Amino acid sequence: MSELRPRWLSEEERAAWLALLSTTTLLPGALEGPLQQAAKLSLFDYNVLAMLSEASSRTLPMSELAARTSASLSRLSHVVKKLQGRGLVERATHADDARVTAATITAVGAELIRDLAPLHVETVRGLVFDQLDRRDVADLARIGRKIVRGMDAGHWILRTPAP
């Protein structure tokens, strides 16, 4: 068995890595806090509702919703069941294919997202975009897409045109 030789990070790579790691560690909690306080929603709950609210007819097959939320079907199913219990989402057989289960945001869920969206966008803006200039924003999108591609070349975000 051959021994793998580590490719140590350069000082520049280490600094970039630690900045990314700190961002991915701190940002979810900072984004979730206001959502929890306002509506007892996790960031993931909010993302599920947001993806449904943006879909045509406010419905997505569970597999597509899982892709758009970067979640496993089992995690998504658990969360959709919880949201269904709160009257925010309905689950049913897809109209076009009886083998497919689809989730639909309810009127109550859509109203909640409409009410929370300004708070969430302001939180995102304050934590992320107010710290960046236009070039940084373009770089963030470009770099984020490259990192995602390295983990999942078929990820849904890569199906959307880059800005």
> Using the 8-state DSSP alphabet, how is residue 8 labeled?
P
Q: Please give the CATH topology (third level) of the domain spanning 39-122.
A: Arc Repressor Mutant, subunit A (1.10.10)
Specify the pTM: 0.90
Two structure tokens written together for 124: 């995102």
Confidence of residue 4 (pLDDT cuts 50, 70, 90): confident
Q: pLDDT tens for residues 34-66?
A: 999 999 999 999 999 999 999 989 999 999 999
The pLDDT of residue 114: 97
The pLDDT of residue 95: 73
Confidence of residue 2 (pLDDT cuts 50, 70, 90): low
Domain residue limits, the chain: 39-122
Per the CB < 8 A criterion, the answer to whether 81 and 87 are in contact is: no
Give dist(CA 124, CA 130) in Å, integer: 9
Give dist(CA 119, CA 129) in Å, integer: 15
Q: For residue 94, give the nearest of 126, 117, 65, 62 by alpha carbon.
A: 62
User: Is pLDDT above 70 for 67?
Assistant: yes
